[in-house]
Amino acid sequence: MLAVLSPGQGSQKPGFLTPWLDLAGVEARLRWWSALAGVDLVHLGTGADADEIKDTARTQPLLVAAALLAAEHLPMHDVGLVAGHSVGELGAAALAGVLPAEAAVTLAGVRGREMAAACALEPTGMAAVLGGDPDEVLAALQAHGLHPANRNGAGQIVAAGAVGGLEKLAAEPPARARIIRLQVAGAFHTPYMAPAEAALAGVAAGVTAADPTRILLSNLDGAPVGHGRETVRRLVRQVTAPVRWDLCMRSLAGLGVTGVVELPPAGTLAGLVKRELKGEGAPEIVTLNTPDDLPAARALIARHGGVVPRPPAPRFRVVVSPAAGAFRPVAELAEGAELRAGQIVGHVTGRQGPVEVTAHDSGPLTEWLAHHDDPVAPGQPLVRIGGSH
């Protein structure tokens, strides 16, 4: 199976879109999307310097636009799976058919502006923690009041939070770990971004979402998402929730992905996949950065693509477990209670910490299918809503 990956913030480079503007229709498309995003995507992708494209408000729509432009020149009908890192999830959602391209670019513009505004409220930042025992790294983060904003696999956890906490972490790093401060505006994917999440939710509520036409992995837990409304809810929630790219890569391996194309600006996700999924069965990878790379990407899709597997069927009336662990229902919810779509009904706590369990649809809570501290597996039914599905 062939996977197409959409990169996130930090992967951009000055002028990386310049060669793409030689293709017919690309500049006109970028100018249309610029009007939707509220930034000049043509300038940002061609003439802007590194400092200008480091601005969160500009970078996020630029990255989504770049991924979508490149994907238009690929035979996406043969691609079985898509995933994106952080803001790259908006591009992936569009490639999965959940969002129109215009909606993805518009939401990226809102997301970037609102996250930049949230960063300005107080001094926060991020740092990559390379190496060390994962449990010890997480304990050190907690001790300094920091959050694991990104868990990227391959021995990399990104810490985020107050500048003072990051300075203490750098002064007292976990054993066998190296700390690298990241040049970002603030603590993305943490509670510090709550104002941005609220603002994005207000805009996303007006978006019409379709169910995915191919497998779409979620940064929340690495699991495929089968329903359009649930995808949009997760995209909004991801502003303050950690990026679990490690779990996305685990799903790539578990689903038997043999080929990977990373969309421009490519390299970061390809590097993580190479370091994590190595040895026998490692996927063949193409990084797509310029139109000159298109023949290699198309050839890879021809070798590893083909029949697109059906994404998981939406289970509107049964809530399933997103992870392995012990299930704990919300104590106040009894059978017969009226649930609303997106409402938290419990948590599954495993080795990676608690994961929210939410209702995908509205209706009466007909039956608990798992109870307090029951061990559950990913995909196991937990709650029945309404009828007898």
Per-residue pLDDT tens over the stretch 283-298: 999 999 999 999 999 9
- Asked if residues 385 and 341 have their Cβ atoms less than 8 Å apart, the reply is no
Provide CATH 3.40.366.10 ranges for the chain. 2-118+191-304
The phi-psi region of residue 16 (left if phi > 0; otherwise alpha if psi is between -120 and 50; otherwise beta) is alpha
The predicted model gives 75-94 an average pLDDT of 96
Give yes or no for residue 18 having a pLDDT over 80. Answer: yes
The whole-number pLDDT of residue 387 equals: 52
The predicted model gives 106-126 an average pLDDT of 95
The whole-number pLDDT of residue 91 equals: 97
* Ordered strands of the 363-368 beta sheet: 318-320, 381-385, 363-368, 338-339
User: CATH number of 318-385: 3.30.360.10, 3.30.1330.20, 2.40.50.100, 2.40.110.10?
Assistant: 2.40.50.100
The predicted model gives 200-213 an average pLDDT of 93
Within the chain, strands assigned E span 2-6, 81-84, 124-131, 147-153, 156-162, 177-182, 215-216, 259-262, 284-287, 318-320, 325-329, 338-339, 344-350, 353-358, 363-368, 374-376, 381-385
The whole-number pLDDT of residue 315 equals: 43
CA 94 to chain centre: 13
Res. 274 pLDDT band, cuts 50 70 90: very high
pTM of the shown model? 0.80
Q: Does domain 121-182 have CATH number 3.20.20.10?
A: no
Give yes or no for residue 317 having a pLDDT over 70. Answer: no
CA distance 14 to 206: 34
Give the residue numbers marked as catalytic.
86, 189
CA 116 to chain centre: 18
CA distance 345 to 356: 8
**Cβ count within 10 A of residue 343:** 17
Provide CATH 3.30.70.250 ranges for the chain. 121-182
Higher pLDDT, 356 or 103: 103
User: CATH number of 2-118+191-304: 3.90.480.20, 3.40.366.10, 1.25.50.10, 3.30.70.260?
Assistant: 3.40.366.10
Q: Which of 4-8, 71-75, 96-100, 311-315 has the lowest mean pLDDT?
A: 311-315
CA distances from 188 to 178, 205, 238 (A): 20, 22, 9
**Chain segment 349-361, per-residue pLDDT in tens:** 987 788 889 887 7
The predicted model gives 218-243 an average pLDDT of 90
The predicted model gives 45-51 an average pLDDT of 95
Res. 314 pLDDT band, cuts 50 70 90: very low
The predicted model gives 183-199 an average pLDDT of 93
Burial class (CB in 10 A: 0-12, 13-18, 19+), 38: middle
Helix, strand, coil distribution of the chain in percent, nearest 5: 40, 20, 40
Res. 2 pLDDT band, cuts 50 70 90: very high
**Mean of per-residue pLDDT scores for the chain:** 91
For the chain, give the percent of residues with pLDDT over 90: 72
**Chain segment 140-190, per-residue pLDDT in tens:** 999 999 999 999 987 889 999 999 999 999 999 999 999 999 888 899 999
